[in-house]
Amino acid sequence: MKTKVAIIGAGISGASIARVLSRYENLEVHLIEKAPDVGWGVSKANTALIHGGYDDDPEKYPTRAKLCIRGNKLWHQWVKELEIPHVWNGALIVATKDEDFDELERLLERGRKNGVPEMRIVDRDELFHLEPNLTREAIGALWVPIVGQIGPIPAVIAITENAVANGVKTHLETEVTGIKVENGEVKGVETKDGFIEADIIINAAGLYADKIARMAGIDYFEIHPRKGEYWIFDDDVPGPKRVLFPTPTPISKGIVVTTEISGHLMIGPNAQDLPPEEKENLATTKEGLEQVWEGAKKLWPQLPPRSKVIRTFAGLRPEPTGGDFIIKAEEEVWGFISVAGIRSPGLTSAPAIAYEVAEIIKRDLGIELKEKEKWNPYRKEISHFFTMTPEQVNEAIKKNPAYGKIVCRCNNVSEGDILEAIERMKFIGVKTPSVDSVKFRTKATTGTCQGSFCRPKIVQLLAREYGVEPWKVTLKGKGSEIGIGDVKVLLRGDA
């Protein structure tokens, strides 16, 4: 008889846990998410870094320090197995005054304690060899070669697709309303769509992990949101080759300057602590964005004109009581495992968190895990017309003429790419057709025009493939249905 496992939250942590647990034949794994698609919570908006493991104090934050470096190593394997967009470009923590080197030496020593390889302090000449367009005030840096970048939502999607292919059952648009506990043991998850029986419940609910914990009678921690704001520039704006950090202060790591995985210069984030009740506050602010702009100029003084900005956005990080990750089997309720307070470096740590949870199930819950004889670690990325060679393009068009029809001109996304994305959406259980679900799988609507050209055609394809009227297609789930203006464009045949 299989042990039933319910994972609450399909962000990077929950999806990674689902993938690792899908290896075991005696587990029946359910991945529960209130959003219409995976990765739409905390995982959606961040700096998308695979951190180097030098930043977390192993005495103050032992779990973060341990799992960050483990996660970094695992990502080198996972990005290959799952064909996740990535780059290993390294990071520079830049000194602009002599006293900064004291902090860089502390970071170097901390990194060595945490097991970070190949870190070293570089002088001004080597620094400008690594990053020629850095501020002229730079006098040296800490060089951390193992830092990388990935697409965070593409990563969650890839991991979930692989988990589903290995037997995980998803429950999207399924909001948890309660946890059933009898005689000190979990019995299942109450949702707006019915009851999901479970022997083990894993609370990976991000900003709402404290709320879910209280449903089970666990009330020793609180999560408050920390907001970070960002600017993204057009892809014809040159950015740095490496990830650039200022020398951190006791208050902040400082504003990061980087070229994100799609080739856009990105600056941010700042850090603003919000009260616990503001877990949906994703509004950008004039003051916050100006803080980011001024901070970025200290590293990258030749910021492009603001006319080159294509988007600003904000993300929220779940800051826990005590600051460290909370990953444990709760003694008060047998079968309830907390995976809470997964703030930075949560993206980096996610694969290691997943293996830690598997170990907790074995060690603390006493459940023997039996590996499947045939578990598939691989997943293929969407074909992506824009990455193909001319020979591959010709071959793809022969097989499916839809690959010869460009829908998104900014990013060269074809109709074939979009149809493949829709097929994959259905595969993992996306019930509500949304433009954002296509965007995160193909990059359509993320270019210079931000979807003004391609959105109507995407709506048309979503409506056709989901068998609904165009005005029932959404931008980002229920409540964001397409307006009458886009429908008129469709009816005119302009798309």
Strand order in the sheet with 185-191: 176-182, 185-191, 194-197
Alpha helices in 28-86 (DSSP H): 62-82
Q: Cα(270)–Cα(256) distance, rounded to whole angstroms?
A: 9
Is residue 148 within 8 A of residue 89, CB to CB? The reply is: yes
Same structural domain, 233 and 141: yes
Kindly report the CATH number assigned to the domain that includes residue 209.
Answer: 3.50.50.60
Q: Cα(348)–Cα(358) distance, rounded to whole angstroms?
A: 18
pLDDT on residue 483: 66
pLDDT on residue 394: 83
Task: State the DSSP H helix or E strand holding residue 474, giving kind and residue range, or none if neither.
Answer: none
CA dist list (Å): 334 to 152, 220, 444: 32, 16, 45
Q: Which two tokens stand for residue 344?
A: 């930075």
Of 389, 98, 44, nearest to 230 (Cα)?
A: 44
Q: Concatenated DSSP letters for 318-343?
A: EEETTSS-EEEE-SSSBTEEEEE---
Same structural domain, 299 and 354: no
The Cβ of residue 61 has, within 10 Å, a number of other Cβ atoms equal to 16
Q: Cα(238)–Cα(259) distance, rounded to whole angstroms?
A: 8
Ranges in the chain, pLDDT < 70 = 250-252, 385-386, 483-495
Among candidate residues 285, 301, 320, the one where a domain is terminated? 320
Report the percentage of the chain scoring pLDDT > 70.
Answer: 96
Question: Which residue numbers are catalytic?
Answer: 51
Total domains present in the chain: 3
Kindly report the CATH number assigned to the domain that includes residue 257.
Answer: 3.30.9.10
Cα dihedral 370→376→378→382 (10° resolution): -120
Same structural domain, 169 and 306: no
Of 441, 325, 435, nearest to 382 (Cα)?
A: 441
Among candidate residues 320, 344, 364, the one where a domain is terminated? 320
Task: State the DSSP H helix or E strand holding residue 353, giving kind and residue range, or none if neither.
Answer: helix 346-363
Q: Is the dihedral of CA 281, 283, 288, 293 positive or negative?
A: positive
Is residue 41 within 8 A of residue 90, CB to CB? The reply is: no
Strand partners, 164: none
Same structural domain, 337 and 232: no
Q: Cα(468)–Cα(472) distance, rounded to whole angstroms?
A: 6
Amino acid in the structure at residue 433: P
Of 14, 31, 78, 10, nearest to 50 (Cα)?
A: 78
Same structural domain, 326 and 303: no
Task: State the DSSP H helix or E strand holding residue 376, giving kind and residue range, or none if neither.
Answer: none
Of 212, 217, 260, 210, nearest to 235 (Cα)?
A: 260
Task: State the DSSP H helix or E strand holding residue 286, giving kind and residue range, or none if neither.
Answer: helix 286-297
Same structural domain, 350 and 480: no
Strand partners, 186: 181
Same structural domain, 390 and 437: yes
Query: pTM to 2 decimals?
Result: 0.95
Amino acid in the structure at residue 225: P
Q: Which two tokens stand for residue 206?
A: 């991000």
Q: Cα(310)–Cα(276) distance, rounded to whole angstroms?
A: 31
Same structural domain, 417 and 455: yes
Of 17, 6, 8, 5, nearest to 350 (Cα)?
A: 17
Domain that holds residue 416: 385-492
Of 402, 412, 392, nearest to 454 (Cα)?
A: 412
Burial class for 483, CB neighbours closer than 10 Å (0-12, 13-18, 19+): exposed
| CA gyration radius, the chain | 23
* Pairing, β 265-268 against β 140-144: unpaired
pLDDT on residue 495: 43
Same structural domain, 182 and 168: yes
Same structural domain, 183 and 298: no
CA dist list (Å): 433 to 11, 149, 376: 19, 29, 28
Same structural domain, 61 and 160: yes
Same structural domain, 13 and 37: yes
Is residue 270 within 8 A of residue 123, CB to CB? The reply is: no
Among candidate residues 303, 320, 337, the one where a domain is terminated? 320
* Pairing, β 223-233 against β 265-268: antiparallel
